[in-house]
Amino acid sequence: MISLPDNRYTTLARRVIAALRGAGHEALLAGGCVRDLLLGREPKDYDVATSALPDAVEALFARTVPVGKSFGVIRVLDDDDNIAVEVATFRHDGPYLDGRHPSAVTFTDARQDAARRDFTINAMFLDPEAGQVIDHHGGQADLKRGVIRAVGEPRARFEEDKLRLLRAVRFAAGLGFDIEPATWAALCDMAPQVAVCSGERIRDELSKMITNVGAARGLRLMQRSGLMQAILPEVAVMEATPQSPEHHPEGDVFTHTLLGMDVMFKPATVTLALGVLFHDIAKPPTMRHEGERITFHGHDKLGGEMAVKVMQRLRYPGEVMERVKSLIDDHLKFINVPKMKTATLKRLLRKPHFDEDLELHRIDCLAGPNRLGTYHLVKQRLAEFERQGAERALRPKVPIDGRDLIAMGLQPGPKFKELLHALEDEMLEGRVSTRDEAVAFVKSQAGL
């Protein structure tokens, strides 16, 4: 018998099921939440499957959103609009003519509804009051064996929705499961067809996979199956890109990237995970043999540009693309930290989201020769500046501006920016702290 955790999500799910049953309809918990409960995990959300038609669901609840009414899906909101439960009418899907959506749906019963779902572990229902699992396709046995198996004939399930090709890998990676041989064979054979899916849908699956436990295994399965070539060909070629053993004893660029994914703390932000995945994306096109050395000059800046193009293809938001590009652009700056001027170092440390820059550097080191000297040096300097007052140490307020320069007799122009930048350098170095010292410095620089 399965019991539900006591929280506001389960309270809403129970209330929804009770209301549907009170109106004479069948109603059960369905899909991923049942899987997670059987695994002893607390579900992130709850889905309800019911015999009630969409109009009947809307009539029963005061707050609803018809997120997919033609497919029988209605979102029921709680009284504060903070959480929701998706309620879906039992259905049988017609042919999937575009490899993404059924051409028509027929509202039916729980058995037929289970038969149209993707994998056996996601095709179970739960009666929360009786604690009884309803399992038409052996999902409980597959959970115990640690197997991802398509419901019914694998090719048919993948033909219905090509995104399931990537979902199979994500579930296998995140759960640490194997993919059943017939399901794996169909997946590998059909992998190129994932390209029919929209960038947004691929993005969402990829993001879930790379930010959580099993990220490296998921990427390895993508590479082995052919999904990587179909989705991220720029990453696929990393496996054929060697590196100098002196700097990268771990092996090729793809191996280095997977090791980085392994040592990244989970769950990770999507920006850090993408930074790890793409930080060496430009090594294949920049690889050169210089005698016995292998070099990748300029792979940081080119990598930022390449990553943006990939993220545009996958429809990532602009702020995500900007942060990931900045991570990749600057990831080699840490090489120069030990010999940086204090002003240059402080400018690096005050970058927005610098914690992710530093974490990418830590990951990059651990995935390579495991030299963390610069990482610890940065942590030490950050602690020093924190003791001094981080805001004052890293962002000193420059006591003069353009109006003061004009009052000194200078003409507005590009020189103003150069003078104020040089003045801030002096303040960051600790050589100027007062207004009088700032005025004297600018006058000396301007030859006044």
> What pLDDT, on the 0 to 100 scale, is given for residue 105?
78
Max mean pLDDT among 293-302, 415-424, 430-439 falls in: 293-302
pLDDT digits (tens, 9 = 90+) for 268-285: 999 999 999 999 999 999
**Domains 1-143 and 146-231 equal at CATH topology level:** no
Across 102-130, average pLDDT: 90
Q: Please spell the DSSP secondary structure of 30-82, one letter per residue.
A: ETHHHHHHHTTPPPS--EEEESS-HHHHHHH-SSEEEEEGGGTEEEEE-TTSS
List CB contacts of 174: < 8 A, sequence separation 6 or more: 208, 209, 212, 213, 214, 218
Q: How far apart are CA 353 and CA 265, in angstroms?
A: 16
Cα–Cα nearest to 159, from 225, 102, 105, 228 = 102
**pTM of the prediction?**
0.91
Regarding the domain delimited by 1-143, which CATH topology (the fold level of the hierarchy) does it fall under?
Beta Polymerase; domain 2 (3.30.460)
Architecture of the structural domain at 235-391: Orthogonal Bundle (1.10)
Sorted by where each begins, the domain ranges of the chain are 1-143, 146-231, 235-391, 402-446
pLDDT in tens, 168-215: 999 999 999 999 999 999 999 999 999 999 999 999 999 999 999 999
Res 104: pLDDT: 67
> What is the structure's pLDDT at 65?
94
Predicted confidence band of residue 101 (pLDDT cuts 50, 70, 90): low
Q: Residue range 231-245: average pLDDT? A: 95
Please give the CATH number for the structural domain made up of 146-231.
1.10.110.30
